[in-house]
């Protein structure tokens, strides 16, 4: 998770875009440009975590999206569901999909990217592929469509490393459009936002045991 720029101006509408809610949890559609959790600077306090307190004083974010990424974010509304959801994410029991528009054409119509990642310390918060000290990181992908310059891809992260999808796609020579950390000049200029969206989550409800399949409409599809 990276720090916001000093001129942080998060979108104010909708205040909270609720896709699903019960007494235990809520699924929100986070807009691009809004932090998942507050930054240390008081100017960076506005976030999904802070806004969710209006739903419940116990509301807690159980996973995160980068500020520049839009899409599905789960919030626990009680301690019991918070513990269970965090454990489910840690044990990779929650299945996630993302959508992205990338520069160039993927090497295969579908495939798996298995490249270990670590922090790029001199250039934080950037990450890098590192075979010596990196943590195992795996992403599967399917190319949905392509044109002369870009490709439309669905991503299935099997691990949850920081900037995983962004660095894995960069490693294929296909940076995500609008990525201010990793895109080259043409790919950065192609979009005024990062074209990465958390599309879906599939999980077992942490209290009722009922399967949940949640989706957030993609704003740039």
Collect all residues with Cβ–Cβ distance below 8 Å to 97 and sequence separation of at least 6. 154, 155, 156, 198, 199, 200
pLDDT of residue 2: 46
Tens digits of residue pLDDT in 106-115: 999 999 999 9
Residue found by looking up tokens 């200029």 in the block: 189
- Delineate the domains of the chain, giving CATH numbers in brackets: 98-196 (3.30.2350.10)
pLDDT of residue 158: 96
- Say if strands 25-30 and 18-21 run parallel, antiparallel, or are unpaired: antiparallel
Told to judge if 66 belongs to the known catalytic residues of this protein, a careful annotator would answer yes
DSSP 134: P
Tens digits of residue pLDDT in 180-200: 999 999 999 999 999 999 999
Q: Over the Cα atoms of the chain, what is R_g?
A: 17
DSSP string, 40-85: SSGGG--BHHHHHTTT-TT-EE-S---TT-EEEEEEESSHHHHHHH
Residue 63 Rama label (left phi>0; alpha psi -120 to 50; beta) = beta
Q: From the candidates 66, 120, 179, 192, give the one annotated as an active-site residue.
A: 66
């Amino acid at each position: 998770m990276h720090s916001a720029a000093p001129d942080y101006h998060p979108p104010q509408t909708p205040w909270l875009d609720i896709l699903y809610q019960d007494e235990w949890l809520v699924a929100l559609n986070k807009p691009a440009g809004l932090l998942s959790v507050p930054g240390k600077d008081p100017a960076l306090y506005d976030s999904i975590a802070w806004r969710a307190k209006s739903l419940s004083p116990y509301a807690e974010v159980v996973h995160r999206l980068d500020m520049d990424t839009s899409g599905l974010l789960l919030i626990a509304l009680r301690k019991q569901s918070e513990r269970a959801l965090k454990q489910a994410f840690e044990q990779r029991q929650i299945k996630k999909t993302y959508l992205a528009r990338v520069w160039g054409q993927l090497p295969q119509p579908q495939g798996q990217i298995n490249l270990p990642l670590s922090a790029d310390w001199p250039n934080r918060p950037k990450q890098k592929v590192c075979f010596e000290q990196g943590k195992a990181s795996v992403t599967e992908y399917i190319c949905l469509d392509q044109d002369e310059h870009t490709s439309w891809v669905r991503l299935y992260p099997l691990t949850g490393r920081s900037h995983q999808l962004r660095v894995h796609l960069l490693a294929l020579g296909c940076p995500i459009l609008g990525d201010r950390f990793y895109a080259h000049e043409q790919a950065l200029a192609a979009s005024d936002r990062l074209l990465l969206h958390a599309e879906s989550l599939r999980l077992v409800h942490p209290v009722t045991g009922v399967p949940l399949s949640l989706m957030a409409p993609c704003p740039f599809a």
